[in-house]
Structure 1
Amino acid sequence: MPDPGFSPLQSGLPAAAARAHAPTHAAGAEAGGAALPGPPSAPVPAAVAVPVDVSAPEDGPGGDLIARHVGEGAAAVRQSSPALERILRGPSGLGTASLYLARRDESPVSPAPETPEEGQPIPGLYHHPVPQPDPERVDEVSRRIKAWAVDEVQAYPPEWEDQFDGFSVGRYMVACHPDAPSIDHLMIATRLMVAENAVDDCYCEDHGGSPIGLGGRLLLAHTALDPLHTTREYEPGWAESLRSDAPRRAYHSAMEYFLQMATPSQADRFRHDMARLHLGYLAEAAWAQTDHTPEVWEYLAMRQFNNFRPCPTLTDSVGGYELPADLHARPAMQRVIALAGNATTIVNDLYSYTKELKSPGRHLNLPVVIAEREDLSDREAYLKAVEVHNDLMHGFEAEAAALAAACPVPSVLRFLRGVAVWVDGNHYWHQTNTYRYSLPDFW
């Protein structure tokens, strides 16, 4: 049976070519990723333009604004550059075959026939279309994650089953990690995603969450990821607390599975990003307690911490290799990862906008903050939030191109490629998850 190689590329990084910064540092680092046997680089299809309906109404209140907004979103030009082509193509040359995937642990399947996608993309939103996720992988990940969540850690009660199914976490993770060499690798990200959502729902959001006392709950939850080192007398109390609380059970179990397949530096990197996430939760909770609407820049600062960053951090772990710690810690790489996390989190703000309006209480999101702080209508604020997202996406792609040119190390190029694919998969899931999301009537 021939090896399937890489899953189809989903990224549209060539769009950044016109905005890429000139290289500022000489290349010279050597590849340091873990060696994995695998096939040589597979040909990569060229990125395609996103079809956007530019027939937005030009009459009526706000018509000119909407027409300009949609037209600008449709006008993104995709050009090529040597740096971006290297990202899309992946590592090549003498000695780089070991950086590619281990052979999958299941037989390759024929591509699924093209079927219409659920949902509509937000008009004017800068994004890239992706191939349909492998349906056999989606089914298997969905089966395994439900068995883990229900039987192994009892992460949610039976009455939440429809919400768990509607989240479509299997489709989400397969779309974001098409190069995962096995289902076991995909399950790393899937368990952690479900555990993070259990903490968010039960500690912060609608399923019993509250800003009151959140700091203490999050501190104890974080010890499920970053274990407590204490005395023999007091350790049993801590261990019992992990077993007695569903979100902490989920965190602890998901982390234990992760540690079986991750390097120490990958695990420590993930813990750091989860601490960032918890800090963002606490900032939002503090604003809720004081009924404070932050300035737009303050909200964006909070969203750099309360965001999806832990997910692309797992890119190399799920891919079956390692981006060495010194390369991951480079300021340029940290900027790329931060911009990716920020852009994908604003995608969530935009797609979940109507869902949050219907939920109990007041939910801060970027359109709500812009409307209040800049005295705009709901529609004008939403369209401006789309522009903020697009600026973040362009920044992410330009910085990724600049880093690829400045540091063309195979493991760096592969990691950048994986993060871009994750960004695109995240948008795909939000667009197609019509169980959770619907768009406002602003066009």
Structure 2
Amino acid sequence: MPGAVPGGEARRGTEAPPARATSDGSGIRIPRLYCPDAVRDDPALGEEVNERLVAWAAEIGIFEGRLERLRSHQFGRLFMLAHPDTDDPDRLLAAARCGLSEWAVDDHWVDEGEDTRPELFGTRMALAHGVIDPARLPNAYAHRFEEQVAREPVLRAFRSALALLHGIASPVQVARLRHELAVMFVGYAQEAEWRQHDRRPAVWEYLLHRYENAFYPCMVLIDPVAGYELPAAEFADHRVRRTYLYAGMANVLLNDIYSMAKEDPTDTNLPNLIAEEEGIPLQDAVDRSAAIHDELMHTIEAECAALTALGSPQLGRYLAGLWAWMGGSKQWHATSARYRTQTQQTSDDRKETTR
């Protein structure tokens, strides 16, 4: 199979370009991170998935007015890199639609929507849960809920994404995604409380948050995208669960480090919180964040190797897919326009025009 079983294969990637300029003109350097490389890179397949994903976003109504920027972020490439067990664009698109729906929560309701007031978030999460785990209201009231769904593109995106997922996933696998999305919604509600009260969490509280609001809702689709099903007893085993949740947390901390390119210094991310709590320069806090990421990755690597030796062939395949997902995600983060500064993009554009 394409993914290598964890156990010594991870490498430190090449050093990334500066994440963003500081006030004195110097750059914040992203350290080399302990993470596997992508197993495969098929640009044509990634482009096909990306174009189909952008077309779906336009049809649903998410990212309206931002479709070209969405296209440049190359989310289709992310899912091509992260799921090397298949070259079927339909399967990759099913995962990509679910992932983009999850990103739309952040991009529409938290960062850039028409109304990002944190006090609205509890209601919005309740509506989203009513879509992903379909609510069945009495007949006299059901149309009121449907009117809300029809007005809100993010809700329509979740409904459409799960409808497509049913074509490649078993009911058990869809239920797993529903559960992980519900956990993610809890994490978003926690973040909304920080924003509503203008409160900066302690580092330990933020790490707990990143255990819940992490990348695992994307990763949970590893087996349906690849065309098999991890047995329920192994999926629910506490040793397996703590390992794959740790992987989701590690990957979202990688996201924290790369996303500094587009975030404000006051944004809530691990480097900013460490810098504030410990009174150290931001570069030192970035380095500390990278060390925390690497510590998680070493733990994941060791536990994946042990579980692979003890478990079924399907578990070995799932953990290899988890490892491959993190490698694909790292490569996407290092190259996507979503995580590059405007200065870097302008510089690259100028280089392109002179070739």
TM range (shorter): 0.7 to 0.9
CA-to-aligned-CA distance 1:347-406 (integer Å, 9 cap, x gap): 010001131127xxx310001111111121111111101101101111111111121122
Q: 1:247 corresponds to which residue?
A: 154
Q: 1:271 corresponds to which residue?
A: 178
Q: Which piece of structure 1 moves more, 239-248 or 423-432?
A: 239-248
2:200 equivalent to 1:296: no
2:149 equivalent to 1:156: no
Q: 2:165 corresponds to which residue?
A: 258
Which amino acid counterpart does residue 303 of structure 2 have in structure 1? E
Which amino acid counterpart does residue 296 of structure 1 have in structure 2? V
Q: How does 1:313-352 map to 2 (within 5 A)?
A: 313-352=220-259
Distance of 2:172 and 2:14 partners within structure 1: 42
CA contact (8 A) 1:335 1:399 kept: no
Distance of 1:352 and 1:51 partners within structure 2: 17
Tell me the CA shift for residue 438 of structure 1.
Answer: 4.8
2:32 equivalent to 1:124: yes
Aligned partner (choices 103, 107, 120) of residue 201 of structure 1: 107
Distance of 1:348 and 1:49 partners within structure 2: 18
Distance of 1:202 and 1:162 partners within structure 2: 16
CA contact (8 A) 2:73 2:337 kept: no
Which amino acid counterpart does residue 418 of structure 1 have in structure 2? G
More helix by share: 2
Aligned partner (choices 318, 328, 337) of residue 425 of structure 1: 328
SS in 1 for 2:68: helix
CA contact (8 A) 2:121 2:189 kept: yes
Q: Which piece of structure 1 moves more, 386-395 or 179-188?
A: 179-188
Normalized against structure 1, the TM-score is what?
0.71
Aligned partner (choices 192, 206, 230) of residue 285 of structure 1: 192
Gaps in structure 2 of 5+ consecutive residues: 16-28, 344-355
SS in 1 for 2:132: coil
Q: How does 1:25-424 map to 2 (within 5 A)?
A: 47=9, 49-50=11-12, 122-131=30-39, 133-151=41-59, 153-157=60-64, 159-180=65-86, 182-208=88-114, 209-357=116-264, 362-407=266-311, 409-424=312-327
Q: 1:49 to 1:327 in 2, by over 3 A?
A: closer
Q: 1:269 to 1:131 in 2, by over 3 A?
A: closer
Count of residue pairs brought into register by the alignment: 330
Distance of 2:241 and 2:81 partners within structure 1: 23
Distance of 1:50 and 1:378 partners within structure 2: 22
Distance of 1:232 and 1:388 partners within structure 2: 51
Q: 1:242 to 1:395 in 2, by over 3 A?
A: same
Which amino acid counterpart does residue 110 of structure 2 have in structure 1? C
Q: 2:24 corresponds to which residue?
A: none
Distance of 2:194 and 2:174 partners within structure 1: 31
Q: 1:42 corresponds to which residue?
A: none
Which amino acid counterpart does residue 44 of structure 2 have in structure 1? E
Gaps in structure 1 of 5+ consecutive residues: 1-5, 16-46, 54-120
CA contact (8 A) 1:166 1:436 kept: no
Distance of 1:304 and 1:204 partners within structure 2: 19
CA-to-aligned-CA distance 1:203-224 (integer Å, 9 cap, x gap): 1222232312210011101211
Distance of 1:135 and 1:167 partners within structure 2: 14
Distance of 1:325 and 1:179 partners within structure 2: 21
Tell me the CA shift for residue 14 of structure 1.
Answer: 2.4
CA contact (8 A) 2:183 2:212 kept: yes
CA contact (8 A) 1:181 1:319 kept: no
SS in 2 for 1:164: helix
Q: Which has the larger radius of gyration?
A: 1
Tell me the CA shift for residue 51 of structure 1.
Answer: 6.2
SS in 2 for 1:429: helix
Which amino acid counterpart does residue 187 of structure 2 have in structure 1? G
Tell me the CA shift for residue 435 of structure 1.
Answer: 4.8
Distance of 2:191 and 2:13 partners within structure 1: 36
Distance of 2:10 and 2:189 partners within structure 1: 40
% identical aligned pairs? 35
Distance of 2:48 and 2:246 partners within structure 1: 32
Tell me the CA shift for residue 335 of structure 1.
Answer: 0.9
CA contact (8 A) 2:83 2:324 kept: yes
Which amino acid counterpart does residue 383 of structure 1 have in structure 2? D
CA-to-aligned-CA distance 1:301-328 (integer Å, 9 cap, x gap): 0111111110111100111111122210
Q: Which piece of structure 1 moves more, 186-195 or 125-134?
A: 125-134
Distance of 1:211 and 1:51 partners within structure 2: 37
Tell me the CA shift for residue 240 of structure 1.
Answer: 2.2
CA contact (8 A) 1:270 1:314 kept: yes
Could you say what the CA RMSD is over the residues aligned between the two structures, in angstroms?
Answer: 2.2
Q: 1:326 to 1:48 in 2, by over 3 A?
A: closer
Q: 1:356 to 1:14 in 2, by over 3 A?
A: same
SS in 1 for 2:166: helix
Which amino acid counterpart does residue 13 of structure 1 have in structure 2? P
CA contact (8 A) 1:122 1:439 kept: no
CA-to-aligned-CA distance 1:64-105 (integer Å, 9 cap, x gap): xxxxxxxxxxxxxxxxxxxxxxxxxxxxxxxxxxxxxxxxxx
2:14 equivalent to 1:14: no
CA-to-aligned-CA distance 1:105-138 (integer Å, 9 cap, x gap): xxxxxxxxxxxxxxxx933311222255212211
Which amino acid counterpart does residue 300 of structure 1 have in structure 2? L
Tell me the CA shift for residue 52 of structure 1.
Answer: 5.1
